[in-house]
């Protein structure tokens, strides 16, 4: 098989620990399926700030640009929280998204049967929940002009939310395409009763929908969506929304599954290139203890196989292995009901590797 | 007793039906407690668009300005959704908030014991939840400049989010004051890792906190707050946040109580003046059927008595009456487990009036 180049960014906190397990999984799929991967490692986030004085060093960015896909652990931690903006891990995250043109963040929120009880929602409400939030990732208030100025009532701060038609079109098309492969239902979330960007959003989504007559489109206001996710999570399938709303709603959706240590995400641009990472953060409180759950990162590899490489057999093998290990009752601390029986990061990784 | 002037705005959908019950409650408290109210009615929202060609007629605004408090039913409906901006009910809502200087929206999210099961959250998670969202209501992206322009990639839409120090100070002080009367815990929600307005928000809240050393302050990022509301709702007490985040989070908080037909809200400015309204909307689907739950509107009267008039005895009587009627098993359709036993809007209002 052709050699695929994967840029690996461990990052901060539990990042290196969960990435190590994902790399074991990569190696195992080479053996079992004959695929070939070349991995390269780069500094990013807090560790890059400490060692290189910037969260996104140029050589890390170059490495990512030369790769077929990026696998990211997690970034951030309290020690960098009060740094000036250009020395914060988040700035690196926003920078890499923009520099790699990753305009779309895809976050599946699924229920793992054996973890149903971990949710704070009633099991009968959660039943059948399987949704994807498609979040616009390189536009909106995240990337608009920001500044301070003196006003009549003291200092003022300004953030600008901007969207153009082309940005909305490409994310809308992607969401419609994904909806087409699933149950053909798309919910577009905006605040069209207040925001001009939302009105342009809604008009554009409606125009694009003409090309997808087989997909049923509904428009949901963001405040209502925050409610409906709680009231009827299983009635959603694909949700598409702008950057800021997507940040909030995708976290809400992830939490209601109760399986946040298990969820993976993909950030995509034009073409097959993508950046894959777990939904959970760097968890500085348990970093270095070998206690982190590597499953979300391992499932990010499966997502990479599906969306970037088209290696569906290996993706399926990984997903099946995870299910098998969970069904056999193995749990890391975050998902164990009886904490005394919890296994560590490497033990979980080994079990999954063996099951592939 | 001094005559208090109350401007009453029924609005659209179920608005007139629930307001009628609240007015019966007003009358009853006059008889029982000797208070004196003068009510005046004005057109607002969709009905004002239809009859006067504008959602906020000048005489309605004048009536509100001359009153000691405003009682609002609900506005909006599908028939006005596609109108141009200046002919939409929401425009009236934003206009009245701004014109009356109502910079603070206070939404208590409490659990009614007898309705615990109505929530989609597990009862043990919900146990003890009693929080208030204090939302900034006249600033931020709602009121900043909005426009379209031609850009390199087609038409662009722009919304501007602006906050000045004084706007943040006054809402922060109000939240600290409220926290002081409760369990002395305040969560300030922002997105300081991305937004300049959030950084000014956080700096200002920290500065104001020096005047409230008895209140414990925590900062929560908005995405994390959307998650934590689900994971540990009972650990929140007072939450303060900017306009857009408050719109989303207060709806999420309301929904997790399972009691959305029961929740009231207050919008306050400087001084005692306030606008009171149920959290629920105009429910066009059940309008005119006498099926709406009037309790949220009736409890809005109690909130008005507490916050604007200082009539704590009458407020308590109303709240006690509502509890008594619910404890006796009476339910409107929205909160009835067995729908066949549900009573109507006026029957519920009568029972509460009798219990006062
Ligand atoms: C860390 C932060 C800048 C980032 C975001 O808001 O996009 C994070 O919350 C996420 O969702 O990936
Ligand atoms: C109708 C709409 C403009 C309004 C808002 O977003 O403020 C509503 O959602 C609310 O919360 O009162």
Which residue of chain B comes nearest to A154, CA vs CA?
Answer: B165
CA-CA distance, B179 to B164, in Å (whole number)?
Answer: 23
The pLDDT value recorded for residue A116 is 83
Q: Over 90: is that where the pLDDT of B109 sits?
A: yes
A189 close to B247: Cβ distance less than 8 angstroms: no
Q: Over 90: is that where the pLDDT of B22 sits?
A: yes
Report the CATH fold assignment for B103-262: Isopropylmalate Dehydrogenase (3.40.718)
Annotation marks residue A251 as catalytic: yes
The pLDDT value recorded for residue B219 is 97
CA-CA distance, A164 to B153, in Å (whole number)?
Answer: 6
Q: Over 90: is that where the pLDDT of B337 sits?
A: no
CA-CA distance, A239 to A182, in Å (whole number)?
Answer: 12
Beta bridge partners of A216: A185
Handedness of CA B229, B230, B231, B234 (dihedral sign): positive
Q: Inter-chain contact B162–A165, Cβ cutoff 8 Å?
A: no
Q: Where exactly does CATH 3.40.718.10 map onto chain A?
A: 1-100+273-356, 103-260
- The residue whose CB lies within 8 Å of the most ligand 1 atoms, and thus the one to mutate among B194, B225, B245, is B194
Which ligand 1 atom is nearest residue B191's CA?
6
Which of B162, B231, B254 shows the shortest C-beta gap to A156? Answer: B162
Confidence of residue A153 (pLDDT cuts 50, 70, 90): confident
CA-CA distance, A228 to A240, in Å (whole number)?
Answer: 15
Nearest CA to B209 out of B199, B222, B198, B219 is that of: B219
CA-CA distance, A96 to A207, in Å (whole number)?
Answer: 31
Q: Over 90: is that where the pLDDT of B253 sits?
A: yes
The pLDDT value recorded for residue A160 is 98
Please indicate if the annotation marks B291 as binding a ligand: yes
Please indicate if the annotation marks B127 as binding a ligand: no
C-alpha angle with apex B216: B200 to B173, nearest 5 degrees?
A: 50
Which residues in chain B have their CB less than 8 angstroms from residue A195's CB? 141, 146, 157, 159
The pLDDT value recorded for residue B147 is 98
Which ligand 1 atom is nearest residue B193's CA?
3
CA-CA distance, A270 to A138, in Å (whole number)?
Answer: 13
Any residues with CB less than 8 A from the CB of B41 and at least 6 apart, and which? Answer: B7, B8, B9, B10
The pLDDT value recorded for residue B175 is 98
Which residues in chain A have their CB less than 8 angstroms from residue B157's CB? 162-164, 195-197, 199-201
Confidence of residue A1 (pLDDT cuts 50, 70, 90): confident
CA dihedral A145, A150, A153, A159 (to 10 degrees): 10
Q: Inter-chain contact A162–B157, Cβ cutoff 8 Å?
A: yes
The pLDDT value recorded for residue A338 is 85
Annotation marks residue A247 as catalytic: yes
CA-CA distance, A290 to A286, in Å (whole number)?
Answer: 8
Whether B93 lines ligand 2, by a CB cut-off of 6 Å, is: yes
Which residues in chain B have their CB less than 8 angstroms from residue A166's CB? 153-154
Whether A30 lines ligand 1, by a CB cut-off of 6 Å, is: no
Whether B194 lines ligand 1, by a CB cut-off of 6 Å, is: yes
Q: What is the CATH number of domain B1-100+273-356?
A: 3.40.718.10
How far is ligand 1, taken at its centre, from the CA of residue B300, in Å?
Answer: 37
Which residues in chain B have their CB less than 8 angstroms from residue A248's CB? 222-223, 226, 245, 248
pLDDT, chain B, mean? 96
Share of chain B above pLDDT 70, in %: 100
The pLDDT value recorded for residue B194 is 95
Annotation marks residue A211 as catalytic: no
Of A68, A237, A247, A334, catalytic: A247
Q: What is the mean pLDDT of residues A12-35?
A: 98
Whether A90 lines ligand 1, by a CB cut-off of 6 Å, is: yes
The pLDDT value recorded for residue B223 is 97
- Ligand at shortest distance from the CA of B263: 2
HSE (CB half, 13 Å, CA atoms) of A79?
12
Q: What is the mean pLDDT of residues A50-76?
A: 98
The pLDDT value recorded for residue A285 is 95
A178 close to A131: Cβ distance less than 8 angstroms: no
Whether A218 lines ligand 2, by a CB cut-off of 6 Å, is: no
B261 close to B332: Cβ distance less than 8 angstroms: yes
Count of other CB atoms within 10 angstroms of residue B347:
15
Which of A154, A194, A255 shows the shortest C-beta gap to B165? Answer: A154
Confidence of residue B112 (pLDDT cuts 50, 70, 90): confident
Which ligand 1 atom is nearest residue B194's CA?
3
* Residue closest by Cα to atom 7 of ligand 2: B247
CA-CA distance, B292 to B288, in Å (whole number)?
Answer: 9
Task: Find which of A98, A118, A141, A233 to mutate to test the B interface (most B CBs within 10 Å of its CB).
Answer: A141
Q: Over 90: is that where the pLDDT of B1 sits?
A: no
The per-residue pLDDT for range A270-290, each reduced to its tens digit, is: 999 999 999 999 999 999 999
The pLDDT value recorded for residue A166 is 97
CA-CA distance, A314 to A331, in Å (whole number)?
Answer: 23
CA-CA distance, A91 to B234, in Å (whole number)?
Answer: 33
Report the Cα A110 to chain-centroid distance in Å.
13
Inter-CA distances, B72 with A151, B93, B282, B300, Å:
34, 10, 11, 9
Q: Over 90: is that where the pLDDT of B133 sits?
A: yes
Q: Inter-chain contact B158–A154, Cβ cutoff 8 Å?
A: no
Which of B160, B191, B222 shows the shortest C-beta gap to A160? Answer: B160
How far is ligand 2, taken at its centre, from the CA of residue A230, in Å?
Answer: 19
- Ligand at shortest distance from the CA of A94: 1
CB contact burial B75-86 (16+ within 10 A = b; e otherwise): bbbeebeeeeee
* Residue closest by Cα to atom 3 of ligand 1: A90
* Residue closest by Cα to atom 8 of ligand 1: A247
How far is ligand 1, taken at its centre, from the CA of residue A247, in Å?
Answer: 7
A332 close to A348: Cβ distance less than 8 angstroms: yes
Share of chain A above pLDDT 70, in %: 100
Whether B247 lines ligand 2, by a CB cut-off of 6 Å, is: yes
Which residue of chain A comes nearest to B194, CA vs CA?
Answer: A142
Whether B21 lines ligand 2, by a CB cut-off of 6 Å, is: no
Query: Per mean pLDDT, which range of A85-89, B63-67, B239-243 is the poorest?
Result: A85-89
Confidence of residue B227 (pLDDT cuts 50, 70, 90): very high
Q: What is the mean pLDDT of residues A299-328?
A: 97
Q: Where exactly does CATH 3.40.718.10 map onto chain B?
A: 1-100+273-356, 103-262
The per-residue pLDDT for range B30-75, each reduced to its tens digit, is: 999 999 999 999 999 999 999 999 999 999 999 999 999 999 999 9
Q: Over 90: is that where the pLDDT of A118 sits?
A: no
How far is ligand 1, taken at its centre, from the CA of residue B205, in Å?
Answer: 22
Please indicate if the annotation marks A202 as binding a ligand: no
* Residue closest by Cα to atom 6 of ligand 1: A247
Q: Which CATH number fits domain A103-260: 1.10.8.60, 3.40.50.300, 3.40.718.10, 3.40.30.10?
A: 3.40.718.10
The catalytic residue positions of B are: 142, 191, 223, 247, 251
The per-residue pLDDT for range B117-130, each reduced to its tens digit, is: 889 999 999 999 99
The pLDDT value recorded for residue B115 is 85
């Amino acid at each position: 098989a052709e050699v695929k180049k994967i840029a690996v960014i461990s990052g901060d906190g539990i990042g290196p620990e969960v990435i190590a397990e994902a790399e074991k999984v990569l190696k195992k799929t080479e053996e079992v399926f004959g695929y070939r991967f070349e991995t390269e490692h780069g500094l990013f986030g807090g560790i890059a700030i400490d060692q290189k004085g910037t969260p996104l060093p140029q050589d890390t960015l170059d490495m990512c640009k030369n790769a077929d896909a990026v696998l990211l652990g997690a970034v951030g931690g309290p020690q960098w929280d009060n740094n000036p903006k250009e020395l914060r891990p988040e700035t690196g995250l926003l920078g890499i998204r923009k520099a790699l043109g990753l305009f779309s963040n895809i976050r599946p929120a699924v229920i793992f049967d054996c973890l149903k009880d971990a949710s704070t929602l009633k099991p009968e409400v959660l039943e059948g929940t399987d949704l994807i939030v498609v979040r616009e990732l390189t536009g909106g208030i995240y990337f608009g002009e920001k500044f301070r100025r003196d006003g009549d009532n003291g200092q003022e701060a300004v953030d600008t939310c901007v969207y153009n038609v082309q940005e909305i079109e490409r994310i809308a098309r992607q969401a419609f395409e994904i909806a087409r492969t699933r149950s053909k239902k798309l919910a577009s979330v905006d605040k069209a009763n207040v925001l001009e960007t939302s009105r342009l959003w809604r008009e554009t989504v409606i125009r694009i929908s003409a090309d997808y007559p087989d997909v049923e489109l509904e428009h949901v206001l963001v405040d209502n969506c925050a409610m409906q996710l709680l009231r009827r999570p299983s009635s959603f399938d694909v949700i598409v929304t702008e950057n800021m709303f997507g940040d909030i709603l995708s976290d809400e959706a992830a939490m209601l599954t109760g399986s946040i240590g298990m969820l993976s995400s993909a950030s995509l641009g034009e073409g097959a290139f993508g950046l894959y990472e777990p939904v959970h953060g760097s968890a500085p409180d348990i970093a270095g203890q070998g206690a982190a759950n590597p499953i979300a990162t391992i499932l990010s590899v499966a997502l990479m196989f599906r969306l970037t490489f088209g290696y569906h057999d290996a993706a399926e093998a990984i997903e099946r292995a995870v299910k098998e290990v969970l069904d056999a009752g193995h749990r890391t601390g975050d998902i164990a009901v009886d904490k005394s029986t919890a296994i560590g990061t490497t033990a979980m990784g080994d079990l999954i590797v063996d099951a592939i």
